Amino acid sequence: MSQKKLISLGIPCFNEEKNVIPAYQALKKVTDKIKKYHFEFIFVDNGSSDATREKIKKIASKDKQVVGIFLSRNFGPESSNTACLNYATGDAFIGIPCDLQDPPELIPKFIKKWEEGYDIIVGIYRKNEGDYLIRFFRKTFYQIFKLISNINVPVNATGFGLIDKKVLKALNSLPEKYRFFRGLRTWVGFKSTQIEYDRQQRKKGKSSYNIFDYFKHAEIGLFGFSYLILDLMVYLGFLLVLFAFIFIFGYLFTVLVFGNPIKGAVTILVSIIFFGGVQLLAISIIGKYIQVIVEETKARPIYIVDKTINLKTSTS
């Protein structure tokens, strides 16, 4: 008899003390019905300040399928996602947030598509019951990202989904620190498909994400996967130089024909403000790309692990 394959479930957590046990119970309820596979539950605590770590320890002490990874501090949302990927040992990996906004009941559908030969199955939400402003900015960002990036990330794509072991290996081999998972998942290629679902509102606890975190995340995606912004500044610079030459020749012609009817003070002031603003914008954009380069060249780890539970090389 052939040995059952293992599927890793990655559950990143930050201040989710009210959701850790309900999430585990909901996932366990779904996976217990899938007899043909083994499952491991990888809970990564991203430096929570509440009782999240204690809740993970509690379930890990009772279930050896639960792996606890505790980071030394909060390193940002992509760090806990990356830790889930790095510690996964299964033939497939399913990432699902701890807040239960993404229904665990979709897991059998993901697995079915995987069995049909798809290497990447992406969850796409039709409807999101979260904050309207956040939903608006998320949708707008992905629409812009799709237009200007060099990869095709679906609008309304979530981190919830399944990837095959070879995709997992490819993602773990990428050395970059400035990570945007949804972009990287698309960039590596492989055969993919999508499953639509309705994203639910958070039932317990409060999201640690605010609108500024979303802007920061969007910035990482844009500057990590698109050079169009730099290209636009080049084109804008060319047009402004062309405009300046036309203005100079037009002004000289006006002076020669009509004297000097144009009052210079206002024209000079407006020109200084306009061109100064364009230069500042261009320098800022270049600075953002330099920031990405600096972060990458530092070669610092994406996260640092404090303790682990139920690993063969556990440090707990």
- Quickly count helices (H) and strands (E) in the chain: 10, 8
pLDDT tens figures, 146-162: 666 666 777 777 788 89
pLDDT tens figures, 197-216: 887 776 665 655 555 655 66
Q: Quick one: pLDDT band at residue 43, thresholds 50, 70, 90? A: very high
> For the whole model, what pTM was predicted?
0.71
Mean local confidence (pLDDT), 120-135 = 71
Beta bridge partners of 9: 41, 94
**Dihedral over Cα of 206, 211, 215, 221: its sign:** positive
Pick the residue with more confidence: 224 or 104?
Answer: 104
pLDDT tens figures, 259-294: 666 555 556 666 776 777 677 777 777 777 777 777
Please enumerate in sequence order all residues whose Cβ is within 8 A of that of 117, keeping only pairs 6 or more positions apart, or say none: 191
